[in-house]
Structure 1
Amino acid sequence: MTTTDLSNCDREPIHIPGKIQSHGFLISINQELKITYCSENISAFAPVSAASLLGTPVYFLETVILNKMDGFITKLLNIAKTKEGFRPLNPYPIHINGKDYNLIICDSADQYLLEFEPSNSDLKLDIQLVIGSMLSEIMSAADLSHLLNNAALQIQTIIGYDRVMVYKFHQDGHGEVVAEAKTPQLSTWLGLHYPASDIPQQARELYKLNLVRQIADVSTVPSTILTYPELNDKPLDLTQSSLRAVSPIHIQYLKNMGVASSFSVSLIHHGELWGLIACHNYTPRFIHYKQREAAKLIGQVLSSSLSFRQQEENQHKNNRLKTAVDDLSRHLLRYNNIEDALFNHEVTVLHAVEAEGAVLAYDGQFHHTGKTPDNIFINAIVNWLHENMQEGIYATNCLAEECPAAIAHQKTASGILACRLSRELKEYIIWFRPEVVSSVTWAGNPDKPVEIGENGLSQISPRTSFETWKQMIRQTSAPWKNEDFRSALQLKDEVAFAITRKATEIRILNDKLKEAYDELDAFSYTISHDLKNPLTAIKSYSQLLQRSSQLAPKERKMLDGIVIGAGRMQSMIEEVLHYSKAGQIKAKPRLVDMTMLLDDLKEQLMVANEHTPLNINIGSTPSIYGDETMIQQVFSNLVGNAIKYSAKTQTPVVDISGEHLENQVRYRVTDNGIGIKLHDIEKIFDLFTRSDDVDEYEGTGVGLAIVKKIMEKHKGRIWVESELGIGSTFHVAFQVRELKKA
């Protein structure tokens, strides 16, 4: 649907039109009780001209027009000047030229407005007698629909208009007829929608300030308000005036509808314009002041009832959602797992907000409940929120307008409400609402035609067609309410607290674990160091005894076993010392030339295995940022193991190569050895762990544990891929210039 710029409607100064409706006349009096403004049509009601009244004191008005010498207007205005909050007891019955009028007094900035209008009425009811029963009928309505229809019917009874409508404003400003009372011959307007431009913004502001508004006859010519420049140089503010003239645009709008008279009562909810009781008559009809006040009273009672019922409904929903959040809060305290607390009980995260699906994006995973989109789209939404979400909470009932990718997911995600848990980690709670397809029937095409005026500016012409015009609303969900926002934010705080508590617990456990590891390292180092000397003595004495020529074969065999066992224990102690030092020694990071390091290592290993037909192939060798001694130990262990477990093949082959990725340097060491069983791969890096089929190969089960500890110190990773009987590939990945300092 195309739109039209209606800004000139909103700029029209309708509170200072400089004119009044011609069924009455107006006089304005300043603080010195002198007449400063007067409507030009006064001569049609009294034997005096407007020009002759301007600048004269009030008593002149009283004597010439009212033929009274008691000065009651002067007395009233003096009281108003001295008593703050003074409210006149309108209307005051008066006689002019033998005719009855009502005088209505109100203030306007530093002026007092005196409005004179007819007192005649065809009302056959006694307002005081019937209004109580009318209010009782209104208040006894079973639901909102009956309440609004009762109010429309009662106001029609009071003012006698052909059509009375309750007109509700939607969030986007457009109006809808939600209740109606009419004469039988008229077609219904119930359910019709009217564009927001039909009632401009400044008119809505006036409706909040002056609760009743009458246009007695759209065909009459308004009367100009006169003043002298020396008396006043600004237009008279008619915000509170009953006689205020109407915008020509609105008059033409009513004529286009065939309306001759109109009347409205404002409905106010929490200080804002909820809607109007809009009344139309198809012949000119003036409404007596007391009838207008009775209708105003019904409007005020209806406004209060709307507020009460809405408050009651909101409170009921708020209590329901709060109960759900309280249950989830208890789950979060009781269960250590956040996902379990929010998803695996009778009350889930879905109950915290009125929605049909919910997702928790947390710790790199998506957890679902209810009707939600697939993970691909959820990931796209999370990235979109990361880029576009400014506050801690975001909601829309038409996601496709802001995120076009949502068009394909309207059945589950036409509307979303999202709370951010962590911007850096892209963690969110997201609730989803599906599309609600609706058909809106407009009273005519909602686009107003535009004409270009002589000044080149766009001028709005009132609509001339009110034939029903239907529009399908798609890709839109039910709107989110304040109670949804409140509950979502409360749950967000509870989850954030649980995450913080969990992080604190993990930090405490890590501190304790580090302390235990430090103690274990120190203990291992001490024990290993203290065992070295006794073992050296045992091995040395055993070797001395082996030199004796007097040993029996059995004794020599026993000594050989002691020497071999002592040697193995010495090797194991050395490995344990290396393992302890790997955790205790402070790293000295620098850029390590891997070409030189691997060439030196290859030369050493080729010399050590000179009797083996060994091939060591070195590919690309990107530099690594780290501790050179530790890195040398990593590759010495990995390549040494590759040679050891390939030794029994016909031609052992070891391939070493590296690559520089975006944020890491990755190396792999591949052999054609015996391979590793699948069930051994998970524990291959544990201390003192060896596969159960490598007993014939020397080893202590410490080397790979040392490699893992060094990689952890470098904030890197190590993993293995292996196929039994084919060989193994060990991968090590170092972060680019990212190293643990201790």
Structure 2
Amino acid sequence: MNFSGPSSDELDLSNCDREPIHILGRIQTFGYLVAMSTDWIIQHISANIGEVFGRGPDDLLGAPLAEILPSSALHAIRGKLQLLSPNDGSERVFGVDLFEDGRRFDIAIHMSDVSIVVEIEVSNVDANGVGNPGSLIKSMIARIQRCETMDGVYRECVRQLRAVTGFDRVMLYRFNDNGAGSVVAEALNRGIEPFMGLSYPATDIPRQARRLYLKNRIRIIADINSQDVDIVPPTNPNGAPLDLSLSVTRAVSPIHVEYLKNMGVGASFSISIVIDDKLWGLFALHHYAPRQLSMETRSTMELFGEMVSLVIEGRLAKEMRKVEEEARDLHDRVVGRLVATSPTMEELVDFADDFRELIPCDGFAVWAKDVVRTVGRCPFPDDMPGIARFLNRAAASRVYATEQLSAVYPKAQEFPDRAAGLLAIPISRSPRDYLIFFRREIIETVTWAGRPDEKPVEYGPNGPRLTPRKSFEAWQETVRDKSAPWSISDLKAAEALRVSILEVLLRFNEESERQQQRATQNQELLIAELNHRVRNILSLMRALVVQSRAGAKTADEFAAIIGGRIQALARAHDQITNDHYQPQSLGSIIQTEIEAYIGHKVSRVRLDGPPILVEARAFSTLALVFHEMVTNSAKYGALSDSRGRIEVSWRIDENECCEILWRESDGPPVQSPTRRGFGSTIIERSIPHDLGGEVTVDYHLAGVRARFLLPPQVFWLDETPEAAAPENPAKESSQVNAMTAEIAAPMSLSGKSGLIVEDNMIISLDAEQMLLDNGAARVLTATNVAEARRIVESEAVDVALLDVNLGSETSFALVPLLDEKNIPFVFVTGYGEKVELPQSANDGVEAIKKPFATDQLIAALERALARRPD
């Protein structure tokens, strides 16, 4: 980068973050580029285009692409374009006879804002190639999955990449949280200096380069010493350059070229590893002479990178789940002890061993009411008031953590051997009290690939210029004043502990100050119920997602179903826990629990009984009992398979009690439980204990039978005129489904049967979904003329959509048969304006161009239907 003002000591290579590397206006010499408007007029072209087109930029700019390329090439490009979204990846096709003269080319197509960009390369530039890409990737991934450790996965990845690509050096480069990274695996030729274990600073890869690595997962530099090719003209009529973020041939930043030259590299290739939408690492391939890989080979390696990303993500997630499960079990034990003993904040230091097991540390302190109590290696008591005041400046009610306390609190430089790192959990607001975990200093030696701050200054025509470092010899740096970092699991455990202390422990401590005897009893009940309910809710949420998936046709519908059921669950939870509720009907209590838990199985439950209102003190007890009944049925009873049914009825008996009968039938065989859990205790003992009623539960082989008897003082008959019998969930569900279907189904193709003749599977599926979304009752598909004939002769078809070019044939041969059957049709073509329809087609027959939109397609089909004679 060039600078004209600042002095050399003000220069910073981080200024490279502002270099517009995505709009450099050049491509590499192995490629050729044509950019067009959406109506296929050439806007930009690479200066070397005459090598393949036989015509220079002056002859091509402003000309329609249809005048230059044959119709077969246009059809191939339009077909790929149909699969693209703007600024979202590229589509590629290999070995195309672009000019129908025997020369084979690989083509990449992408959208750049409102321009269509086509990049062309000569096919088979690497002699070895990849053979069958699918078989190759399958074989590579199978070997990787056999590795037992993560290090083994890393080593196998680089070994296979080097075998396939032939590069001299293949490295797996993993990023740290601060942007720096290190080489965690390497495969290289003999005689080459290894880089394994070396670290690289974050400034080696500027921020905008990292963003491009996310958008464009592969990057080839075929020859470091080659001269780039200009894009002509450099800007559009509005003065804006062409955005090449998704380009496969984009030129390289001069600073990066200089960086690679300083390393002695002649060619490079990179493959991004993206996990959770973040750049986790890179496969960096170096060759010490020019080396070009074909577009097909690069695309295969891109797929390999995506598959490896999934493998690594899965392995990391599995490790994280194991750590979190262990932490969760430990957290439950710690919180259980806290609730059982109800300590004051000052007494929390007695649980130091439990807390230190949950969050490993060298020292632990409780700062409460301006007094500190410590265990282990901690700052001296005189240092704690200053640390507390420093923590008071942090955000309220947030866990605070740092691995280098001295960087934000300079006084900590006096005690790094006792507290280099700190994690603080606020446990009150006014005054602020804390649980504080300390970690001592760990002196670490980092081996860098060259000294990160050794960047020479050179003077050019525009003044001093900071250049990449020239030496990459191993350089060791001793890092001090830092502790072992706090992991994600440490932070999650800290947040869970904060919530538990604030929402459970402290709430019970405040209650004990007012009524100590009652608080002890409430704490024991609440912790048991809390553990039970939390585990049920976690399982319930997973069940909601799994059960809802089967009934959803689209992502939006899936989201709506999930959203509705989660809201139902939230209502049920409110009914159980709210202390200020109003009287509710018995039917609504039961129905809410049914709808919240079993979703689409609601039609298999029948409710019947008079309108009864439940008194406030009985409401939460009944809601909890029927929640457990529904849960058990869904897990083990009638609702655990696809056939079982439940009938819930109630009546007022001769003693003016409300008798509720629960009957399950047609489900799997039922056996009496071998142990009594908390749920069974709630069902059998809550109503007798809390309401003075009766409960009988019988486990018949044919289904569970239960009888609940409510005494007269907890309910009354609702005799208001608007009171009615409870809405049957099965009836309500069918009504809602019918209304939704009526609203959702557009009238444009309502009830019609369509035929799609298309040889591209993805385009066929896309068009099929468009027809179904606009009311079509049935859509049939065919990939060739013969298959389409069989469908037309044997099935009822109202309208047809015909792709003109079906590979080795056209769909024109279907016209006489469709006319004979009085079936209107619309052509789809990738040939643009020059398609010539057969003479046998009626004058009103339309041909729409790829890529087509939903409204364009549906309108054409509607016009075709309107033209059909009665």
Amino acid at match of 2:180: H
Q: 2 CA distance for matches of 1:79 and 1:195?
A: 40
1:14 aligns with 2:14: no
Equivalent residues in 2 for 1:66-465, closer than 5 Å: 68=70, 70-74=71-75, 76-77=77-78, 80=81, 88-94=91-97, 99-120=103-124, 121-123=126-128, 126=131, 127-227=133-233, 233-338=239-344, 342-344=348-350, 348-388=354-394, 392-447=398-453, 448-451=455-458, 459-465=465-471
- Percent of residue pairs bearing the same amino acid type: 32
Amino acid at match of 1:14: I
> Residue by residue, what CA displacement relative to the aligned partner does 1:461-500 show, whole Å, maximum 9, x if unpaired?
1221112211011111122122222221221222224234
For residues 436 and 230 of structure 1, do their structure 2 counterparts lie closer, same or farther at Cα, with a shift above 3 Å needed?
A: closer
Deviation at 1:389, TM superposition (A): 5.5
Q: Which stretch has the larger CA shift, 165-174 or 277-286?
A: 165-174
For residues 118 and 228 of structure 1, do their structure 2 counterparts lie closer, same or farther at Cα, with a shift above 3 Å needed?
A: closer
> Residue by residue, what CA displacement relative to the aligned partner does 1:196-216 show, whole Å, maximum 9, x if unpaired?
111110000000000000000
The answer on whether the counterparts of 2:30 and 2:121 sit within 8 Å (CA) in structure 1 is yes
Q: Which stretch has the larger CA shift, 242-251 or 323-332?
A: 323-332
1:60 aligns with 2:67: yes
Q: Give the aligned partner of residue 24 of structure 1.
A: 31
The answer on whether the counterparts of 2:169 and 2:287 sit within 8 Å (CA) in structure 1 is yes
The answer on whether the counterparts of 2:80 and 2:91 sit within 8 Å (CA) in structure 1 is no
Deviation at 1:453, TM superposition (A): 6.0
The answer on whether the counterparts of 1:18 and 1:236 sit within 8 Å (CA) in structure 2 is yes
Structure 1 residue aligned with 2:53, among 26, 46, 50?
46
The answer on whether the counterparts of 2:94 and 2:123 sit within 8 Å (CA) in structure 1 is no
Q: Give the aligned partner of residue 583 of structure 1.
A: none
Amino acid at match of 1:213: R
The answer on whether the counterparts of 2:362 and 2:438 sit within 8 Å (CA) in structure 1 is yes
The answer on whether the counterparts of 2:107 and 2:118 sit within 8 Å (CA) in structure 1 is yes
TM-score (norm 2): 0.55
TM-score (norm 1): 0.64
> Residue by residue, what CA displacement relative to the aligned partner does 1:3-49 show, whole Å, maximum 9, x if unpaired?
96234301111111111001121111110111111000112333210
> Residue by residue, what CA displacement relative to the aligned partner does 1:357-382 show, whole Å, maximum 9, x if unpaired?
32122244433334333323334322
The answer on whether the counterparts of 1:267 and 1:302 sit within 8 Å (CA) in structure 2 is yes
Q: Which stretch has the larger CA shift, 170-179 or 443-452?
A: 443-452
Amino acid at match of 2:426: R
The answer on whether the counterparts of 1:358 and 1:369 sit within 8 Å (CA) in structure 2 is yes
Equivalent residues in 2 for 1:583-662, closer than 5 Å: none
> Residue by residue, what CA displacement relative to the aligned partner does 1:333-360 show, whole Å, maximum 9, x if unpaired?
2113246974546961212223233212
Amino acid at match of 1:73: L
For residues 279 and 154 of structure 1, do their structure 2 counterparts lie closer, same or farther at Cα, with a shift above 3 Å needed?
A: same
> Residue by residue, what CA displacement relative to the aligned partner does 1:281-320 show, whole Å, maximum 9, x if unpaired?
0010000122212221221122112211221222222222
Q: 2 CA distance for matches of 1:183 and 1:417?
A: 46
Q: 1 CA distance for matches of 2:174 and 2:94?
A: 31
For residues 35 and 125 of structure 1, do their structure 2 counterparts lie closer, same or farther at Cα, with a shift above 3 Å needed?
A: closer
For residues 319 and 341 of structure 1, do their structure 2 counterparts lie closer, same or farther at Cα, with a shift above 3 Å needed?
A: farther
The answer on whether the counterparts of 1:35 and 1:54 sit within 8 Å (CA) in structure 2 is yes
> Residue by residue, what CA displacement relative to the aligned partner does 1:585-610 show, whole Å, maximum 9, x if unpaired?
xxxxxxxxxxxxxxxxxxxxxxxxxx
Q: 1 CA distance for matches of 2:319 and 2:236?
A: 57
Q: 1 CA distance for matches of 2:313 and 2:236?
A: 48
Give the secondary-structure state (helix, strand or coil) at the position aligned to 1:45: helix
For residues 190 and 119 of structure 1, do their structure 2 counterparts lie closer, same or farther at Cα, with a shift above 3 Å needed?
A: same
Deviation at 1:141, TM superposition (A): 1.3
The answer on whether the counterparts of 1:34 and 1:55 sit within 8 Å (CA) in structure 2 is yes
Q: Give the aligned partner of residue 487 of structure 2.
A: 481
The answer on whether the counterparts of 1:94 and 1:102 sit within 8 Å (CA) in structure 2 is no
Deviation at 1:439, TM superposition (A): 0.9
Q: Give the aligned partner of residue 577 of structure 1.
A: none
Give the secondary-structure state (helix, strand or coil) at the position aligned to 1:56: coil
Q: 1 CA distance for matches of 2:105 and 2:199?
A: 39
For residues 509 and 386 of structure 1, do their structure 2 counterparts lie closer, same or farther at Cα, with a shift above 3 Å needed?
A: same
The answer on whether the counterparts of 1:356 and 1:370 sit within 8 Å (CA) in structure 2 is yes
Q: 2 CA distance for matches of 1:52 and 1:191?
A: 54
For residues 299 and 460 of structure 1, do their structure 2 counterparts lie closer, same or farther at Cα, with a shift above 3 Å needed?
A: same
Give the secondary-structure state (helix, strand or coil) at the position aligned to 1:360: strand
For residues 125 and 72 of structure 1, do their structure 2 counterparts lie closer, same or farther at Cα, with a shift above 3 Å needed?
A: closer
Amino acid at match of 2:77: L
Amino acid at match of 1:220: S
For residues 4 and 359 of structure 1, do their structure 2 counterparts lie closer, same or farther at Cα, with a shift above 3 Å needed?
A: farther
Q: 1 CA distance for matches of 2:129 and 2:247?
A: 27
Quote the RMSD (CA, aligned, Å). 2.9
Amino acid at match of 2:41: K
Deviation at 1:249, TM superposition (A): 0.8
Deviation at 1:321, TM superposition (A): 1.9
Q: Give the aligned partner of residue 715 of structure 1.
A: none
Deviation at 1:99, TM superposition (A): 4.2
> Residue by residue, what CA displacement relative to the aligned partner does 1:226-280 show, whole Å, maximum 9, x if unpaired?
0387756321111111110011111111111111100000010111101110000
Amino acid at match of 1:467: E
Q: 1 CA distance for matches of 2:439 and 2:431?
A: 25
The answer on whether the counterparts of 2:349 and 2:366 sit within 8 Å (CA) in structure 1 is no
1:469 aligns with 2:475: yes
Q: 2 CA distance for matches of 1:407 and 1:158?
A: 52
For residues 107 and 253 of structure 1, do their structure 2 counterparts lie closer, same or farther at Cα, with a shift above 3 Å needed?
A: same
For residues 177 and 187 of structure 1, do their structure 2 counterparts lie closer, same or farther at Cα, with a shift above 3 Å needed?
A: same
Q: Which stretch has the larger CA shift, 150-159 or 85-94?
A: 85-94
**Number of equivalences:** 504
For residues 356 and 305 of structure 1, do their structure 2 counterparts lie closer, same or farther at Cα, with a shift above 3 Å needed?
A: farther
Q: 2 CA distance for matches of 1:79 and 1:130?
A: 24
Unaligned runs of 5+ in 1: 63-67, 511-742
The answer on whether the counterparts of 2:95 and 2:123 sit within 8 Å (CA) in structure 1 is no
